[in-house]
Amino acid sequence: MITLKEALSLSADEIKAFREELKSEIEAKKELNAYVGMEESGEGIPLLIKDNIQVKDWSVTGGSKILQGYISPYDATVIINLKAKGLAPFGRANMDEFAMGSTTESSYYGKTLNPINTDCVPGGSSGGSAAAVAGGIAIAALGSDTGGSIRPPAAFCGIVGMKPTYGRVSRYGLGAYASSLDQIGPLTQNVEDAAILYDMIAGYDPKDSTSVDMDYAPVSTALNPERKLRIAVLPHYLKDASADIQKAYVDTIEVLKAQGHEIIEAELLDAKYDISAYYVTATAEASTNLARYDGIRYGTRAKGDNLKETFVKSRSLGFGEEVKRRILLGNFVLSSGYYDAYYVKAQKVRRLIKQDFEKVFETADLILSPVAPNTANKIGELQDPMKMYLSDMYTISINLAGLPALSLPVGIAKNGMPVGLQLIAPAFDEQTLFDGALGLENALKG
């Protein structure tokens, strides 16, 4: 598979021929179930789009039955930006229903398989995007990251996945899960492609009230993998990680030292606080955002004898079990008598988490962290909701703090599956994030 950088130099005829070859390759690997629709929009370089990002005249369902039949009337801002730069949306990527999951098994379209080992999950919720890139049936893809929905899939599939700073990439046209956490980001074959795609989608958007109005300098044209950085490591974080993850972490630290980076030790709050604050916040926002799916305005409608019955039947039939679970949890923490005890307290903890990161960044340029406690799980292994929630323990704090982070492959575990680690940067310092990641990627290749 050619890289995104290489594709940008193709002629119009070469792009057309490549698109036809790609269709044949997608058909040959359809058992991965990474694509859930082969819509096309434009004739540029083909880019796979997660099924919760609006593309005009496409069916966009968020992997849910309740949105079957909905056709998007507009393009998301990231899609407008991509089209302006010669890229064209090409196919919808499978995902966990409404991005609520860590395995891409909860999609209405069925589970996606990991191309490295089809007995394993590709991670979630952007599992279709990651599996397609890793499987050689997409140059690159867009995903969304609410609590780790880009980074674990990238780690499980052995590719690069990047979550931007909250507010750096427009959320206009992204199907909302948790509005204060969601961010669109790239999944690519390498770090340089991730920087290129990030540049294409980043920037201020007046249509998005959470978009930050500040000057933007492209990062891909200023990449400097030779920069020497102070990188914080988190030894106490390893206690919950598998032996393979721990070994990869220690080995990567040695690679960073050999590059000339200064390694310092740091501590963050115990991940149990991250998990508690995240699932209170995310489910509360989800219950509010998903209230719009009522069977009346768009999507699937069940027949009821009155308005209330129509609402109840439509939502009962349209939503999957995990989505229902999170709506109920969200309604509970927002309910009278529990709002202060749960939601307000979670926001206070969220602030402490952000301050914790800020303290580390007073002396460090980047933080090195695990992405997941294990390599890719076997299909069906995370049926217990609590186990699934705990699998995101290393990623959700970054969303709570609104920071940028990038997962890249650093090795192979004993079971043959990829191991990914993530670098975390201060808010809006994506340049340092990509510089450090590219330097590490180059060193690992060497």
pLDDT, position 33: 98
Has residue 441 been placed in a domain?
yes
The answer for residues whose C-beta is within 8 angstroms of residue 385's C-beta and 6 or more apart is 322, 325
Say how many domains are in the chain.
1
Per-residue pLDDT band at 414 (split at 50, 70, 90) = very high
Has residue 52 been placed in a domain?
yes
Residue 369: pLDDT over 90: yes
Has residue 208 been placed in a domain?
yes
pLDDT, position 147: 97
Q: Which domain holds residue 370?
A: 4-267+358-445
Per-residue pLDDT band at 424 (split at 50, 70, 90) = very high
Average pLDDT over residues 90-98: 98
Residue 298: pLDDT over 90: no
Q: Do 175 and 98 form a contact (C-beta atoms < 8 A)?
A: yes
User: Which comes out higher in pLDDT, residue 341 or 351?
Assistant: 351
pLDDT, position 337: 85
Residue 372: pLDDT over 90: yes
Residue 6: pLDDT over 80: yes
Average pLDDT over residues 90-112: 97
pLDDT, position 299: 80
Average pLDDT, the chain: 96
Average pLDDT over residues 192-220: 97
Has residue 307 been placed in a domain?
no
pLDDT, position 140: 98
**pLDDT over 90, % of the chain:** 92
- The CATH number of residue 84's host domain is 3.90.1300.10
The answer for residues whose C-beta is within 8 angstroms of residue 171's C-beta and 6 or more apart is 179, 182, 183, 184, 208, 210, 211
Say which range, 67-71, 76-80, 167-171, 296-300, has the weakest mean pLDDT: 296-300
Say which range, 290-304, 341-355, 397-411, has the weakest mean pLDDT: 290-304
Residue 446: pLDDT over 80: no
Has residue 323 been placed in a domain?
no
Residue 437: pLDDT over 90: yes
Has residue 279 been placed in a domain?
no
Give the pLDDT confidence of 284-296 residue by residue, as tens digits: 999 999 999 988 8
Q: Do 410 and 345 form a contact (C-beta atoms < 8 A)?
A: no
Average pLDDT over residues 102-129: 97
Please state, in angstroms and as integers, the Cα–Cα distance from residue 37 to each residue in 26, 94, 127, following that order. Answer: 11, 9, 15
Question: Across the beta sheet with 262-265, what order do the strands follow?
Answer: 35-40, 87-93, 45-50, 141-145, 183-188, 160-163, 405-412, 418-424, 366-370, 230-233, 262-265
Closest-CA residue to 221 (of 2, 402, 430):
430
Give the pLDDT confidence of 263-282 residue by residue, as tens digits: 999 999 888 899 999 999 99
pLDDT, position 279: 95
pLDDT, position 174: 98
Has residue 420 been placed in a domain?
yes
Residue 428: pLDDT over 80: yes
pLDDT, position 84: 97
Per-residue pLDDT band at 54 (split at 50, 70, 90) = very high
Half-sphere exposure of 308 (CA within 13 A, CB side): 0
pTM: 0.96
Q: SS3 sequence, the chain?
A: CCCHHHHCCCCHHHHHHHHHHHHHHHHHCHHHCCEEEEEECCCCEEEEEECCECCCCCECCCCCHHHCCCECCCCCHHHHHHHHCCEEEEEEECCCHHHCCCCCCCCCCCCCCCCCCCCECCCCCCHHHHHHHHCCCCCCEEEEECCCCCHHHHHHHCCEEEECCCCCECCCCECCCCCCCCEEEEEECCHHHHHHHHHHHECCCCCCCCCCCCCCCCCHHHCCCCCCCEEEECHHHHHHCCHHHHHHHHHHHHHHHHHCCEEEECCCCCHHHHHHHHHHHHHHHHHHHHHHCCCCCCCCCCCCCCHHHHHHHHHHHHCCHHHHHHHHHHHHHHCCCCHHHHHHHHHHHHHHHHHHHHHHCCCCCEEEEECCCCCCCECCCCCCHHHHHHCCCCCHHHHHHCCCEEEEEEEECCCCCEEEEEEECCCCCHHHHHHHHHHHHHHHHC
Average pLDDT over residues 219-223: 98
Has residue 349 been placed in a domain?
no
Per-residue pLDDT band at 347 (split at 50, 70, 90) = very high
Average pLDDT over residues 326-330: 96
Say which range, 35-49, 134-148, 329-343, 365-379, has the weakest mean pLDDT: 329-343
Which sequence positions are flagged as catalytic? 50, 125, 149
pLDDT, position 296: 87
pLDDT, position 83: 98
pLDDT, position 212: 97
